[in-house]
A and B are shown apart, each in its own frame.
Chain A
Amino acid sequence: MRDRLTVATLACVLGGAALLAALNVLTAPASALHVPGFVISLVGKYLCYAILALAVDLVWGYAGILTLGHAAFFALGGYCMGMYLMREIGTRGVYANPVLPDFMVFIGWKELPWYWYGFNHFWFALPMAMIVPGALAFAFGWLAFRSRVSGVYLSIITQALTYALLLAFFRNDMGFGGNNGMTDFKDIVGIPLNRDSASVGLMLVTAVVLALVFVLARAMTRSRFGRVLIAVRDAESRTRFLGYRPESYKLVVWVFSAVIAGIGGALYVPQVGIINPSEFAPANSIEAVIWVAVGGRGTLAGAILGAVLVNLGKTWLTSALPEIWLFAIGAVFIVVTLFLPRGIIGLFTSRRSARAPQPADPAEPKPAAIESTAREAAG
Chain B
Amino acid sequence: MACRSSGGGRRRGLLPAGVIAAALFALLLALPTAARAAADPFAELAATNFDVEAQGVRDLAVSGNPRAHAVINALRDGKLWAWKWPRPDAPLFIRTDSGIVDARTGAAVAAPAPVNLRRVIVNDSVRAAIETAEGALNLVSPVVAARLKAAEALFQSADAGALPLIEQALAKEHDPSVARVLREAHAAALLKSNTGSTEARLAAVDELAERADLLARGLLASLHGQPPQVAAAIAAAVRSIDRSLQLWGLLENVYYGISLGAVLLLAATGLAITFGVMGVINMAHGEMVMVGAYTTFVVQQLIAAFAPALTQFGLLFAVPAAFLAAGLLGVIIERTLIRFLYGRPLETLLATWGLSLILQQAVRSIFGPTNQDVTSPDWMSGAVHLGGLVLTVNRLWIILFALLVLGALMATLRWGGLGRSIRAVTQNRRMAAAMGIRTPVIDALTFGLGSGVAGMAGVALSQIDNVSPNLGQNYIIDSFIVVVVGGVGNLWGTLLGALILGVVDKFVEPFEGAVLAKILVLVLLILFIQRRPQGLFPPKGRVAEA
Interface residues of A (CB under 8 A from B): 66, 68, 140, 143-144, 146-149, 151-153, 155-157, 159-161, 163-164, 167-168, 170-171, 282, 286, 289-290, 293, 323, 325-327, 329-334, 336-338, 341, 359-361, 364, 366-379
- Say if the beta carbon of B72 comes within 8 Å of chain A: no
Partner of B365, one of A153, A323, A366: A323
Contact between chains at B545 and A379 (CB < 8 Å)? yes
Given the interface pairs A371-B429, A373-B343, A377-B488, the reply to whether A333 lies near B279 with Cβ below 8 Å is no
Partner of B527, one of A143, A155, A168, A373: A143
Chain B residues with CB under 8 A of A360: 343-347
CB distance from B480 to the nearest CB of A (A): 5
- Say if the beta carbon of B367 comes within 8 Å of chain A: no
Chain A residues with CB under 8 A of B531: 147
Partner of B349, one of A152, A331, A379: A152
Contact between chains at B515 and A170 (CB < 8 Å)? yes
Contact between chains at B526 and A377 (CB < 8 Å)? no
- Interface size class on chain B is 35 or more
Contact between chains at B351 and A334 (CB < 8 Å)? yes
Chain B residues with CB under 8 A of A326: 357-358, 360-361, 364
CB distance from A349 to the nearest CB of B (A): 20
CB distance from B262 to the nearest CB of A (A): 22
Chain A residues with CB under 8 A of B544: 378-379
CB distance from A362 to the nearest CB of B (A): 9
Contact between chains at B522 and A160 (CB < 8 Å)? yes
A149, A161, A282, A378: which has the most chain B beta carbons within 10 Å?
A378
Beta-carbon contacts under 8 Å, B486-543 to A: 488-489, 515-516, 518-519, 522-523, 525-527, 529-531, 533-534, 538-539, 543
Chain A residues with CB under 8 A of B443: 370
Chain A residues with CB under 8 A of B356: 330
Given the interface pairs A151-B345, A378-B488, A379-B544, the reply to whether A293 lies near B522 with Cβ below 8 Å is no
Partner of B529, one of A153, A289, A338, A379: A153
Contact between chains at A361 and B349 (CB < 8 Å)? no
Select from chain A the residue with minimum beta-carbon distance to B357. Answer: A330
List 10 A-B pairs, minimum CB-CB distance, nearest first: A333-B354, A369-B343, A373-B279, A330-B358, A326-B361, A330-B357, A369-B342, A164-B522, A330-B354, A337-B351
Interface residues of B (CB under 8 A from A): 278-281, 337, 340-351, 353-358, 360-362, 364-365, 425-426, 428-430, 433, 439, 443, 477, 480-481, 484, 488-489, 515-516, 518-519, 522-523, 525-527, 529-531, 533-534, 538-539, 543-546
Contact between chains at A160 and B525 (CB < 8 Å)? yes
Contact between chains at B519 and A168 (CB < 8 Å)? yes
Given the interface pairs A155-B346, A168-B515, the reply to whether A333 lies near B526 with Cβ below 8 Å is no
Chain B residues with CB under 8 A of A282: 477
Known: A153-B533, A373-B278, A374-B543. 13 other contacts (CB 8 A): A140-B526, A160-B526, A286-B350, A290-B354, A326-B357, A326-B361, A338-B337, A341-B347, A366-B343, A374-B489, A375-B543, A378-B538, A378-B544
Select from chain A the residue with minimum beta-carbon distance to B339. Answer: A366
Select from chain B the residue with minimum beta-carbon distance to A60. Answer: B346
A367 to B426: give the CA distance in the assembly, Å.
Answer: 11
Contact between chains at B355 and A330 (CB < 8 Å)? yes
Contact between chains at B361 and A373 (CB < 8 Å)? no
Chain A residues with CB under 8 A of B358: 326-327, 330-331, 334
CB distance from B424 to the nearest CB of A (A): 12
Chain B residues with CB under 8 A of A286: 350, 353
A275 to B490: give the CA distance in the assembly, Å.
Answer: 42
Contact between chains at A361 and B477 (CB < 8 Å)? no
Contact between chains at B529 and A149 (CB < 8 Å)? yes
Given the interface pairs A147-B531, A327-B361, A370-B278, the reply to whether A167 lies near B519 with Cβ below 8 Å is yes
Contact between chains at B347 and A164 (CB < 8 Å)? no
CB distance from A113 to the nearest CB of B (A): 17
A369 to B443: give the CA distance in the assembly, Å.
Answer: 12
Contact between chains at A157 and B525 (CB < 8 Å)? yes
Select from chain B the residue with minimum beta-carbon distance to A360. Answer: B344
**18 A–B contacts, CB within 8 A, in A order:** A160-B477, A160-B526, A282-B477, A326-B360, A327-B361, A329-B357, A330-B357, A334-B351, A360-B343, A361-B343, A367-B429, A368-B343, A373-B279, A374-B426, A374-B543, A378-B534, A378-B539, A378-B544
Contact between chains at B543 and A378 (CB < 8 Å)? yes
A375 to B427: give the CA distance in the assembly, Å.
Answer: 11
Select from chain B the residue with minimum beta-carbon distance to A341. Answer: B347
Contact between chains at A334 and B354 (CB < 8 Å)? yes
Contact between chains at B543 and A167 (CB < 8 Å)? no
A171, A325, A370: which has the most chain B beta carbons within 10 Å?
A370
Given the interface pairs A330-B357, A331-B358, A341-B347, the reply to whether A143 lies near B530 with Cβ below 8 Å is yes
Chain B residues with CB under 8 A of A341: 347
Chain A residues with CB under 8 A of B348: 337
Contact between chains at B349 and A155 (CB < 8 Å)? yes
A143 to B528: give the CA distance in the assembly, Å.
Answer: 11
CB distance from B289 to the nearest CB of A (A): 17
